[in-house]
Amino acid sequence: MRYVGDPIAAVAAADEWVAEEALALIEVRFEDLHRYMSIEEAIRGQGEPIHGRSNVHKAVALEFGDTEAALSHASHQREDMVFFEGNTHLPMEQHAAVGHYGQDGKLTLWSSTQTPHYVHRALGKVLGLPMSRIRVIATPNGGGFGGKSDIFSHELVAARLAMVTGRPVKITLTREEVFYAHRGRHPVLMKVRTGVDRDGRIASMQFTTFLDGGAYGSYGVASTYYTGALQPATYAIPAYRFEGVRLFTNKPPCGPKRGHGTPQPRFALEVHMDRLAEDLGIDPVTLRLRNLPRANSRTVNWLRITSCGLKECIERVAEESRFLARWKSMPPGRGLGFAVSSYLSGAGTAIYWNDMPHSEVQLKLDRNGGVALFCGAIDIGQGSDHVLAAIVAEVLGIALEDVQLTTADTDLTPIDLGSYSSRVTFMAGNAARVAAERVMARLFAAAARVMGCEPEELRARDRRIFRRERQEEGIPFAQAVQAAEAEDGVVSATGSYTPPRLAGPYKGSGVGPSPAYSYSAAVVEVDCDPRTGEVRVPEVWIAHDIGRAINPVLVEGQVEGSVYMALGEALMEEQTFRLGLHKFPSMLEYKSPTTLETPVMHTYLIETIDPEGPFGAKEAGQGPLLPVIPAVANAVHNALGVRIDEIPITPDRVLRALAEKARGHAPRVGPAAIPAFSFPPPIRADVPDEWKAR
């Protein structure tokens, strides 16, 4: 076993106390090995490695353009180091699974998972069963945030024990076990070095990240690349170098948590940008506006940007918060902070390499005009069920209540890769729109024959199909279904979505490309008590480039949920360990915001109508979290004149920084150096000049 909480045995019993007694009778002998509990210890490697011949899981180095030459010609350079402590998802519902092995030799697993398709594949491989003999049903999910994207041992064990016993087997993790199952935010140590011209325009950037990955891989390779991938999507960077390494430690494995590898570098970059603005005597808003990426362009690391509403987001929050007027005139202990971000609308690469669609939807219409929608995506609270139904209803011109959904059941629904990377609205939504348009084409053809006109003359609305120019001439939607079925049988159609091939011509380019990128900007106000170090957030202004809000209320809920989670990470949440044990594996001790700590939120939706998204929609589930954390750090500096370069910004860190300031030292708490590590020679892949011109 490689960390406290690593599963080593399982017992099935009719009663919980019998299972506990049986577990106590299992004799296990342990031999203590060297313990690695930090990035620095893992790099030094003074004992037996956790895996293989070293504690290095993945080391990457990429360079686009000659960064050193560009830095040498820059008017001003700056280098900063920060540390972002890990934190966990804290879902209200613990992980749970029920396995059942039927008399017919069919295995069924019900699980609180975000990825039923991947669980289905893993069960087939681990149990040696044909996938046709396995059914996975993703149950309504009481909180995921990325923490239920992995395949977990309890899912495999419940299935196997059900096969062995011939009885249904349920495993529910305790709250403490959920803390040890983890797969949450990586602790990351970062260094960023940037050169700018006299006006603050970026000439070159070098970014280095060290990730504490815990004891196993999870999605850690992707996390490593993500810590460097999106910086050029947020700012126009002509030359960029990224070096990153993920290390194994004797802690629970880290994986994807809301934002997956991007909140940590966003924190580093946005506090760094504020310091650059201070060096140059430029306000933080103007500096960002001078470095905006362009819509319909390629970044230096080959990412394709379609729509970009970052300028509108910046201007909206700056205006609504009166940031520039108030920024330098706040009373003592009060401060304003500003930051921006970008994020994916679905990953461009599947977890396993294949040429098949990432999302598929099937529609089947009944003779009364009802529509059955089948999709493998699971709604984890973001409202994707409503979005899929709304897209279909919009295309077909029917009411929401006419659409009946069946989702996330591998026996009944076509494949969807899961609810992660903010992909469901974009990818499953595109698939749903294609399926509905195919059904609509068939219904228009049948209705046109009934009405004696051309299909191009027709439109659908309010459960009717009618002529555009003479709306009184039409037939009920159900009649059109009956006419189509009478001609060619069951009225059904499928739709699918495969993201465009956007990866660059270099190894590692599969992480970062997305069909579209969302953009966000945030202003955070803080109230700091210099006697106690306590930081409160009374008000937040946030604007998000959503592309198009299919359901504005759901989008606002996602944005404000991101703000809430970000404030927890910024001010109190940390997954830390003492002597190999989690310091606070319970909801009583692991600090998380409540309604009492929730600020007034002003949410602004910026619609840019992206050409790739369904009806122009982009993501909303993760991107708005990213700018809030650095905005808090920048606001604390504005309020107290100290820099807290470690997340979370706890009262003890604030007091330490204030004490350093009082002694006349640098008013800062944070890392002073990064460990010595030999990165591989960088892979170089320059974007062609003709792409830059665009």
Residue 694: the pLDDT is 47
Phi-psi region of 624 (alpha: psi -120 to 50; beta: other; left: phi over 0): alpha
32 burial via Cβ count (<10 Å: 0-12, 13-18, 19+): exposed
Element (H, E) at 447: helix 429-451
Q: Is the pLDDT of residue 35 over 70?
A: yes
- Grouping H, G, I as helix, E, B as strand and the rest as coil, residue 165 is helix
Question: How is the beta sheet containing 474-476 ordered, strand by strand?
Answer: 458-461, 464-467, 474-476
Q: What one-letter code names the amino acid at 284?
A: P
Pick the closest to residue 496 from 348, 359, 374, 614 (CA basis). 359
Element (H, E) at 70: helix 67-72
Residue 693: the pLDDT is 45
Q: What is the mean pLDDT of residues 456-479?
A: 96
Q: How many Å apart are CA 76 and CA 275, to the nearest integer?
A: 12
Q: How many Å apart are CA 544 and CA 63, to the nearest integer?
A: 30
Q: What is the pLDDT of residues 583-628, one digit of tens each?
A: 999 999 999 999 999 999 999 999 999 999 999 999 999 999 999 9
Mean pLDDT, the chain, as a whole number? 96
Residue 144: the pLDDT is 94
99 burial via Cβ count (<10 Å: 0-12, 13-18, 19+): buried
Q: How many Å apart are CA 692 and CA 231, to the nearest integer?
A: 17
pLDDT band of residue 351 (cuts 50, 70, 90) is confident
Q: Which residue has the tokens 């209200």?
A: 92
Q: How many Å apart are CA 435 and CA 233, to the nearest integer?
A: 32
Question: Is residue 380 within 8 Å of 144, Cβ to Cβ?
Answer: yes
Q: What one-letter code names the amino acid at 591?
A: K
Q: Is the pLDDT of residue 292 over 50?
A: yes
Q: Residues 6 or more apart from 594 whose CB is under 8 A from it?
A: none
Phi, psi angles (nearest 5°) of residue 443 = -70, -40
Q: How many Å apart are CA 151 and CA 113, to the nearest integer?
A: 8
The full set of domains in the chain, from first to last, is 16-32+89-181 (3.30.365.10), 309-348+515-674 (3.30.365.10), 359-497 (3.30.365.10)
pLDDT band of residue 692 (cuts 50, 70, 90) is low
- Model pTM greater than 0.85? yes
Question: Is residue 17 within 8 Å of 181, Cβ to Cβ?
Answer: no
Q: Is the pLDDT of residue 353 over 60?
A: yes
Q: How many Å apart are CA 76 and CA 175, to the nearest integer?
A: 50
Q: Is the pLDDT of residue 176 over 70?
A: yes
Q: How many Å apart are CA 196 and CA 490, to the nearest integer?
A: 63
Q: How many Å apart are CA 617 and CA 635, to the nearest integer?
A: 32
Return the beta strands (E) in 512-610 as ranges: 517-528, 535-545, 577-578, 581-582, 600-606
84 burial via Cβ count (<10 Å: 0-12, 13-18, 19+): buried
pLDDT band of residue 501 (cuts 50, 70, 90) is very high
Looking at per-residue confidence, does 544 or 351 come out higher?
Answer: 544
Q: What is the pLDDT of residues 416-442, one digit of tens each?
A: 999 999 999 999 999 999 999 999 999
Q: What is the pLDDT of residues 151-160, one digit of tens each?
A: 999 999 999 9
Strand pairing category for 683-684 and 56-64: parallel
Q: What one-letter code names the amino acid at 615?
A: F
Q: What is the mean pLDDT of residues 272-291?
A: 98
Q: What is the mean pLDDT of residues 520-539?
A: 98
Tokens of 615: 């009806």
694 burial via Cβ count (<10 Å: 0-12, 13-18, 19+): exposed
Q: How many Å apart are CA 150 and CA 218, to the nearest integer?
A: 7
